[in-house]
Amino acid sequence: MFDGCVLGVDPGLASAGLASVGPDSGQLSVLWAETVRTPSGLAEEKRLRKVYGAVREAISDHRPAAVAVERLMWGKNVGSAMAVARASGVILLAAADAGVPIHEYAPLEVKMAATGVGNAGKADVRRSLSRLHGVHGIPTDPDAADAAAIAFCHLQQSRLREAAAR
Protein backbone atom coordinates (compact mmCIF):
# COMPACT_ATOMS: atom_id res chain seq x y z
CA MET A 1 0.00 0.00 0.00
CA PHE A 2 1.06 3.59 -0.58
CA ASP A 3 2.98 4.93 2.41
CA GLY A 4 1.86 8.56 2.42
CA CYS A 5 -1.28 10.43 1.53
CA VAL A 6 -2.16 11.94 -1.82
CA LEU A 7 -3.91 15.28 -2.21
CA GLY A 8 -6.55 14.96 -4.91
CA VAL A 9 -7.82 18.15 -6.52
CA ASP A 10 -10.90 18.64 -8.67
CA PRO A 11 -10.08 22.05 -10.19
CA GLY A 12 -12.58 24.83 -10.60
CA LEU A 13 -12.89 28.56 -10.12
CA ALA A 14 -16.36 28.65 -8.54
CA SER A 15 -15.61 25.53 -6.49
CA ALA A 16 -12.58 23.30 -6.20
CA GLY A 17 -12.64 19.97 -4.41
CA LEU A 18 -9.71 18.92 -2.23
CA ALA A 19 -9.22 15.57 -0.52
CA SER A 20 -6.33 13.90 1.25
CA VAL A 21 -6.50 10.12 0.79
CA GLY A 22 -4.17 7.62 2.39
CA PRO A 23 -3.83 4.77 4.82
CA ASP A 24 -5.50 5.01 8.22
CA SER A 25 -5.36 2.03 10.58
CA GLY A 26 -4.64 -0.29 7.68
CA GLN A 27 -7.57 0.99 5.59
CA LEU A 28 -7.55 3.41 2.69
CA SER A 29 -9.46 6.47 3.90
CA VAL A 30 -10.31 10.04 3.08
CA LEU A 31 -8.27 11.69 5.82
CA TRP A 32 -9.60 15.19 5.11
CA ALA A 33 -11.72 16.87 2.45
CA GLU A 34 -13.24 20.23 1.66
CA THR A 35 -14.66 22.24 -1.17
CA VAL A 36 -13.25 25.71 -1.70
CA ARG A 37 -15.92 28.07 -2.95
CA THR A 38 -15.20 31.51 -4.37
CA PRO A 39 -17.86 34.23 -4.65
CA SER A 40 -18.89 34.97 -8.25
CA GLY A 41 -18.81 38.72 -7.57
CA LEU A 42 -15.15 38.63 -6.58
CA ALA A 43 -12.56 39.61 -9.20
CA GLU A 44 -11.12 36.56 -10.95
CA GLU A 45 -7.57 37.15 -9.75
CA LYS A 46 -8.81 37.21 -6.13
CA ARG A 47 -10.76 34.01 -6.69
CA LEU A 48 -7.64 32.38 -8.13
CA ARG A 49 -5.60 33.57 -5.14
CA LYS A 50 -8.14 31.93 -2.82
CA VAL A 51 -7.84 28.61 -4.68
CA TYR A 52 -4.03 28.87 -4.64
CA GLY A 53 -4.04 29.63 -0.90
CA ALA A 54 -6.35 26.72 -0.10
CA VAL A 55 -4.14 24.26 -2.00
CA ARG A 56 -0.98 25.60 -0.34
CA GLU A 57 -2.63 25.32 3.08
CA ALA A 58 -3.78 21.76 2.37
CA ILE A 59 -0.25 20.80 1.29
CA SER A 60 1.22 22.41 4.40
CA ASP A 61 -1.29 20.77 6.75
CA HIS A 62 -1.39 17.27 5.22
CA ARG A 63 2.10 16.92 3.68
CA PRO A 64 1.06 14.75 0.74
CA ALA A 65 3.60 12.62 -1.11
CA ALA A 66 1.94 13.74 -4.37
CA VAL A 67 -0.78 16.00 -5.72
CA ALA A 68 -3.19 14.44 -8.23
CA VAL A 69 -5.21 16.83 -10.38
CA GLU A 70 -7.98 16.14 -12.84
CA ARG A 71 -6.86 17.17 -16.32
CA LEU A 72 -9.11 19.68 -18.04
CA MET A 73 -11.12 18.33 -20.94
CA TRP A 74 -12.27 21.07 -23.31
CA GLY A 75 -16.00 21.17 -23.87
CA LYS A 76 -18.39 23.45 -25.68
CA ASN A 77 -18.33 26.22 -23.05
CA VAL A 78 -14.97 27.87 -23.76
CA GLY A 79 -15.51 30.60 -21.15
CA SER A 80 -16.02 28.07 -18.39
CA ALA A 81 -13.11 25.97 -19.64
CA MET A 82 -10.79 29.00 -19.51
CA ALA A 83 -11.75 29.67 -15.88
CA VAL A 84 -11.08 26.02 -14.98
CA ALA A 85 -7.79 26.15 -16.92
CA ARG A 86 -6.70 29.18 -14.91
CA ALA A 87 -7.69 27.45 -11.67
CA SER A 88 -5.72 24.37 -12.76
CA GLY A 89 -2.72 26.59 -13.39
CA VAL A 90 -2.71 28.05 -9.88
CA ILE A 91 -3.23 24.56 -8.41
CA LEU A 92 -0.20 23.26 -10.32
CA LEU A 93 1.78 26.32 -9.25
CA ALA A 94 0.86 25.81 -5.58
CA ALA A 95 2.08 22.20 -5.72
CA ALA A 96 5.24 23.17 -7.63
CA ASP A 97 5.99 25.98 -5.14
CA ALA A 98 5.69 23.43 -2.32
CA GLY A 99 7.97 20.98 -4.14
CA VAL A 100 5.33 18.23 -4.27
CA PRO A 101 5.22 15.95 -7.35
CA ILE A 102 2.19 16.57 -9.57
CA HIS A 103 0.26 13.97 -11.55
CA GLU A 104 -2.66 14.70 -13.86
CA TYR A 105 -5.43 12.29 -14.79
CA ALA A 106 -8.18 12.57 -17.38
CA PRO A 107 -11.75 12.15 -16.15
CA LEU A 108 -11.94 8.84 -18.05
CA GLU A 109 -8.89 7.51 -16.16
CA VAL A 110 -10.45 8.46 -12.82
CA LYS A 111 -13.75 6.76 -13.65
CA MET A 112 -11.98 3.65 -14.94
CA ALA A 113 -9.86 3.40 -11.76
CA ALA A 114 -12.90 3.72 -9.52
CA THR A 115 -15.56 1.78 -11.43
CA GLY A 116 -13.96 0.06 -14.42
CA VAL A 117 -16.40 1.98 -16.63
CA GLY A 118 -15.37 5.14 -18.47
CA ASN A 119 -18.83 6.70 -18.61
CA ALA A 120 -19.76 6.14 -14.96
CA GLY A 121 -21.74 8.84 -13.19
CA LYS A 122 -20.60 10.69 -10.09
CA ALA A 123 -22.85 8.60 -7.82
CA ASP A 124 -21.41 5.40 -9.33
CA VAL A 125 -17.87 6.61 -8.62
CA ARG A 126 -18.67 7.44 -4.99
CA ARG A 127 -20.45 4.13 -4.49
CA SER A 128 -17.60 2.13 -6.06
CA LEU A 129 -14.96 3.86 -3.96
CA SER A 130 -16.67 2.88 -0.74
CA ARG A 131 -18.26 -0.48 -1.63
CA LEU A 132 -15.88 -1.98 -4.18
CA HIS A 133 -12.57 -0.53 -2.97
CA GLY A 134 -13.36 -0.10 0.73
CA VAL A 135 -12.32 3.56 0.91
CA HIS A 136 -13.67 5.02 4.15
CA GLY A 137 -15.08 8.51 4.57
CA ILE A 138 -16.08 9.42 1.01
CA PRO A 139 -17.43 13.00 1.22
CA THR A 140 -21.01 13.75 0.27
CA ASP A 141 -20.07 17.04 -1.43
CA PRO A 142 -19.63 16.21 -5.15
CA ASP A 143 -16.46 18.31 -5.67
CA ALA A 144 -14.72 16.87 -2.60
CA ALA A 145 -15.84 13.34 -3.60
CA ASP A 146 -14.38 13.89 -7.08
CA ALA A 147 -11.12 15.01 -5.46
CA ALA A 148 -11.07 11.80 -3.41
CA ALA A 149 -11.61 9.78 -6.60
CA ILE A 150 -8.71 11.59 -8.29
CA ALA A 151 -6.43 10.82 -5.34
CA PHE A 152 -7.59 7.18 -5.41
CA CYS A 153 -6.81 7.02 -9.13
CA HIS A 154 -3.27 8.15 -8.42
CA LEU A 155 -2.87 5.56 -5.68
CA GLN A 156 -4.08 2.84 -8.09
CA GLN A 157 -1.78 4.04 -10.88
CA SER A 158 1.19 4.22 -8.48
CA ARG A 159 0.64 0.61 -7.41
CA LEU A 160 0.39 -0.52 -11.03
CA ARG A 161 3.57 1.35 -12.01
CA GLU A 162 5.38 -0.13 -9.01
CA ALA A 163 4.23 -3.67 -9.87
CA ALA A 164 5.22 -3.23 -13.50
CA ALA A 165 8.70 -2.09 -12.49
CA ARG A 166 9.39 -5.33 -10.56
Catalytically active residues, by annotation: 10, 70, 143
| Cα–Cα distance measured from residue 116 to residue 128, given in angstroms and rounded to the nearest whole number | 9
Task: List, in sequence order, the alpha helices (H) in 12-141.
Answer: 44-62, 78-98, 107-115, 122-127
| Cα–Cα distance measured from residue 2 to residue 16, given in angstroms and rounded to the nearest whole number | 25
How many CB atoms are located within 10 Å of the residue 100 CB? 17
Crossing angle, helix 107-115 and helix 142-165, to 10 degrees? 80
How many CB atoms are located within 10 Å of the residue 103 CB? 18
